[in-house]
Amino acid sequence: MKQYNAKNIRNVAFVGHSGTGKTSLAEAMLFLSGASDRLGRIADGTTVCDFDTEEIKRKASVSMSVAPFEWKNTKINILDTPGLFDFSGGVSEGIRAAGSAVITVSGKAGVSVGAEKGFNVASKKGIAKIFFVNEMDNENADFYKVFEELKSKFGPMVCPLVVPYVENRQVQSYINLVEYKAYSYKDGESTQISMPEMGHRLEGLRTAMNEAVAETSEELMEKYFSGEEFTPDELINGLASGVRKGEIAPVFCGSAYTLEGVDQLMNGLIWLAPYAETMVGETATDKDGNEVELSVDENAPTAAIVFKTIVDPFVGKLLYFKVISGTVSSDTTLVNMRTGATEKIGKLFLVRGKKQVEVPLICAGDIGAVSKLASTNTGDTLCAASRQVILTGIKFELPNLSMAVQAKNKADEEKISIGLSRLMEEDPTIGYVHNHETHERVLSGLGEQHLDVVISKLKSKFGADVTLEVPKVPYRETISKKVKVQGRHKKQSGGHGQFGDVWIEFEPGDNEELDFNETVFGGSVPKNFFPAVEKGLQEASAKGTLAGFPMVGLKATLYDGSYHPVDSSEMAFKLAAHVAYKAGIPQANPVLLEPVGSLKAYVPNDNTGDIMGDINKRRGRVLGMAPSEEDNLTCVEAEVPMAEMGDFSTMVRSLTQGRGYFRFEFARYEEAPQPVAQKVIEANKTDDEG
């Protein structure tokens, strides 16, 4: 592939609901352009973009892939993103590197949640949006119904450019409204035919297009209202200007499976999608936090953003990056602005699916890959030392479903942490912690399918065979009344014996840690044994007497005792403190505390009642509602016991059809209701030894 400059490069993310044909559309474009010599099929596992073994097995994209092709002296970098919501990290990566988004919509299923999400994420990034209504070869497809849905959902910016002529539920030809020409297709090849008779419908569609163009400038608006026809140049320039400003979202249609209409979209991307040079670079910040405007200029100092990482246990890391400014060449040195370290650039690649082609340089506006940069990760800025700037990183969705990871074999224990740390470099939406309190490894992700893929990769890439279980809840115990008890340890076994005797007052305290005091009078317990008593109580309070959970909010005061001048020792007083603890805590009305979290659930306005009902079923307290910054979403704020939140993420997704999301974080501990406490105590019965 020859070197292109920024003016002839288009970076296009394919977004939309799962199953609407993003990967098939990419495959069709690669085939029509000659970048691929065969038309791969998802069902056969032969597509360029879905090359991962997990994708072939599941017949769905689970990560973002890059696939460049050349069309009419233009390079188009496809960024094919997953449609399954569990893999939204791939959408974040693709959108970060894109200058426009093609939103695929099913011609039979219509506008789905994935299309809404794709539109919203492209709008937030401020990039152009183009719709492609796919599956027009299906007899149940209805373009005009879908088009009305698009207008209803996204407003007057939706503008028809290519529409089908349908007879007997079969598309006979496709009409390009800009050219005002009709095309029929056979084996992906288009032939211009005479314009079919469509009556008022065609005129209505042309009017909709002209109105959209008129909105792009006052001059065109005046011409439109005076009744004059737009010239072809005015139409094309008006549309291109509107699309690049985000004022027009053009609609194309066709079938990725039969290749119909795909060339029209490819042509449309060339004259509508913003080319890299027009993206006006980006606003970065320097080391002092001042804003710096970067231009897409290959002669300027280099600045590039790393937007994706692939980890291979044998080859190492492959980093995908987009050059915002300057040029990245082999054997140059760049600064990683996160770590401050310099990185020597080795081999550079153009990537198409899993295929890598070595190249000497990647210029401004283009996308490439580099290997063997040990300390660089997704979201990092690489730049020239002469102009050190930080580019905007990537905001990923936070993981919200947690499961405990258990190794099937003891030998796999070490592999788990190593494997997961590598997979987290590849996928920033994975969370992983070793909970030292519950002695569990807790893996977090965006949903059940996400975690399923993670453990599958853990086995195939790193040889760790694991199962997932519901994680334990880290309960606590405390006391609710004051008691005074004696703890006496006496043992005689020939020679020196062991003797320690303490009187301790236990009462509720304010600190999580043990609050130890002493008020011993007259030397009944020598001062040098005080630390041993405190240590004994600290050790004992690691396990409560109800169910073995750590004791918190405990104040202990050593106020009396006795000792033996020969047999008393630090160990004896430590053991005496243990005895006092075990005797006193059960008398002090011990209670079980459960962790309660603060919940913010963002759901469509129509779902707020259902969400509040579900929160109540989970023993939660709804605190209030507030409008969200996002359209048609309401934030429901509540406090919910963490033990009840296990399947909340699945419920939210199901109830809101994937539109809703939530944030949940630990807030505090509260006394668990008696029935709940009883269940936990029964399940965690511990013996009283030790």
CATH number at residue 117: 3.40.50.300
Same-domain pairing of 189 and 300: no
Residues 349-371 have a mean pLDDT of 94
In a domain? residue 202? no
CA–CA separation, 322 vs 281, rounded Å? Answer: 11
Q: What is the pLDDT of residue 502?
A: 95
Buried/exposed 397-432: b ≥16 CB within 10 Å, e otherwise: bebbbbbbbebeeeebeebbeebbebbbbbbbbbbb
Q: Among 229, 263, 279, which residue terminates a domain? A: 279
Residues in the chain: 690
> Which three-class secondary structure state does DSSP give residue 471?
coil
Q: Which of 320, 323, 336, 353 is nearest to 93 (CA)?
A: 320
Same-domain pairing of 573 and 676: no
Same-domain pairing of 603 and 580: no
Residue 116 has pLDDT above 90, yes or no: yes
The count of structural domains within the chain is 5
Q: Give 193-246 pLDDT, tens digit per residue.
A: 999 988 788 888 988 899 989 988 899 999 999 988 888 888 999 999 999 989
Residue 438 pLDDT grade (very low, low, confident, very high; cuts 50, 70, 90): confident
Residue numbers of the domain that contains 356: 282-390
Q: What is the pLDDT of residue 153?
A: 94
CATH number at residue 618: 3.30.70.240
Tell me the residue ranges of DSSP E strands in 573-673: 590-604, 621-627, 633-641, 661-671
In a domain? residue 205? no
CATH number at residue 432: 3.30.70.870
Identify the residue with better confidence: 557 or 197: 557
Residue 686 has pLDDT above 60, yes or no: no
Residues 303-331 have a mean pLDDT of 91
CA–CA separation, 690 vs 688, rounded Å? Answer: 7
**Which residues lie below 8 Å from residue 591, measured CB to CB, with a gap of 6+?**
477, 478, 479, 480, 546, 671, 672, 677
CA–CA separation, 16 vs 105, rounded Å? Answer: 7
Q: Which two tokens stand for residue 53?
A: 């073994």
Q: Which of 337, 356, 340, 339 is nearest to 348 (CA)?
A: 356
Residues 76-101 have a mean pLDDT of 96
Q: Give 234-266 pLDDT, tens digit per residue.
A: 899 999 999 998 999 999 999 999 999 999 999
CB atoms within 10 A of CB 620: 21
Identify the residue with better confidence: 79 or 217: 79
Residue 64 has pLDDT above 90, yes or no: yes
Q: Among 390, 420, 450, which residue terminates a domain? A: 390
Same-domain pairing of 142 and 51: yes
In a domain? residue 269? yes
In a domain? residue 426? yes
Residues 286-294 have a mean pLDDT of 88
CA–CA separation, 667 vs 642, rounded Å? Answer: 10
Q: Which two tokens stand for residue 148?
A: 């009305």
Q: Which two tokens stand for residue 348?
A: 């550079």
Same-domain pairing of 124 and 69: yes
Q: Give 30-53 pLDDT, tens digit per residue.
A: 999 999 999 999 999 999 999 999
> Which three-class secondary structure state does DSSP give residue 326?
coil
Q: Give 439-464 pLDDT, tens digit per residue.
A: 899 999 999 999 999 999 999 999 99
Q: What is the pLDDT of residue 414?
A: 86
Q: Among 254, 279, 304, which residue terminates a domain? A: 279
CA–CA separation, 450 vs 74, rounded Å? Answer: 36
Residue 293, beta-bridge partner list: 283
- What is the chain's mean pLDDT, rounded? 92
In a domain? residue 523? yes
Give 411-469 as a 3 state SS string: HHHHHHHHHHHHHHHHCCCCEEEEECCCCEEEEEECCHHHHHHHHHHHHHHHCCCEEEE
Same-domain pairing of 457 and 499: no
Q: What is the pLDDT of residue 313?
A: 73
CATH number at residue 481: 3.30.230.10
Q: Which two tokens stand for residue 636?
A: 């429901």
Q: Are 604 and 633 in contact (CB under 8 A)?
A: yes
Residue 523 has pLDDT above 50, yes or no: yes
Q: What is the pLDDT of residue 280?
A: 53
CA distances from 406 to 304, 403, 440, 466 (A): 40, 10, 8, 5
Same-domain pairing of 530 and 670: no
Residues 68-75 have a mean pLDDT of 96
Residue 400 has pLDDT above 70, yes or no: yes
In a domain? residue 209? no
Same-domain pairing of 299 and 168: no
Residue 255, φ and ψ in degrees, nearest 5: -140, 115
Same-domain pairing of 385 and 447: no
Same-domain pairing of 132 and 272: yes
Q: Give 494-514 pLDDT, tens digit per residue.
A: 667 899 999 999 999 988 899
In a domain? residue 231? no
Q: Packing angle between helix 218-225 and helix 232-245, nearest 10 degrees?
A: 130
In a domain? residue 191? yes
CATH number at residue 368: 2.40.30.10
Residue 420 has pLDDT above 90, yes or no: yes
Can you say whether residue 92 is alpha, beta or left, with left for phi > 0 and alpha for psi between -120 and 50 degrees? alpha
Same-domain pairing of 502 and 386: no
Same-domain pairing of 457 and 562: no
Can you tell me which residue has the tokens 């992700």? 445
Q: What is the pLDDT of residue 494?
A: 63
Residue 690 has pLDDT above 60, yes or no: no
Share of the chain above pLDDT 90, in %: 79
